[in-house]
Amino acid sequence: MPRLVPMILVLLCSVAPLSAQTLDSAAGPVRVEKVLGGLGTPWGFDFLPGGGFLVTERDGRLLHVANGAAQEVSGVPRVATAGQGGLLDVMVPRDFAQSREVFLTFARRDRGGTHTALASGRLSDDGRRLTGTRILFQAGPPASGGRHFGSRVVEAPDGKHFITIGERGDRPSA
């Protein structure tokens, strides 16, 4: 639930221009304020220590947002953007302040089709580059359709990471 309310707020702010306002919710009053505009198809985001955050866009862009300004992060793995595929989720682990590691899920084209993949890399101190990016997991077998990639990545309290993947258009594999 803690990630759900901010996620809803960012999505609302990216769809329609809003001035700051307070809305009632089952959890109490929620202040809605636009913090970033001009997004194409935002998919995921996560907060960084110190108040910034990272946003993925399906077209393969990873944005670092701090102090009201967004800059594109280089070093993102090559992303397959056909259909529903693209750069999907981003997760900043609890040990980010020490490790600088960031996790991304995305659609990855390979021989025979497209997969949902998980990668990690280290975010530079200035937030402009991912370095040491490597593929940690790739779902198989490859799919020929461009749909149902999933995907979310979360960190459990014990530090294990979990990702969700879609059936990629192959219902029997669900």
Residue 152, pLDDT score: 87
Catalytic option among 64, 115, 148, 161: 148
CB 161, CB 120: distance < 8 Å: no
Task: Give strand ranges (E) for 76-112.
Answer: 87-91, 101-110
CA atoms of 33 and 160, how far apart (whole Å): 33
Query: For the whole model, what pTM was predicted?
Result: 0.79
- Reported as type and span, the H/E element at residue 6 is helix 4-15
Residue 5, pLDDT score: 47
**Structural domains in the chain, sorted by start:** 1-35 (no CATH), 39-173 (2.120.10.30)
CA atoms of 53 and 43, how far apart (whole Å): 13
Residue 165, pLDDT score: 79
CA atoms of 82 and 107, how far apart (whole Å): 9
Is residue 64 part of the annotated active site? The answer reads: no
Question: Per-residue pLDDT for the chain (174 aa), expressed as one digit of tens each?
Answer: 455 445 554 544 444 444 678 999 999 999 988 888 888 888 899 999 988 999 999 899 999 999 888 999 999 999 888 777 789 999 999 999 999 999 999 988 877 777 888 999 999 999 999 999 999 988 776 666 655 557 889 999 999 999 887 766 666 665
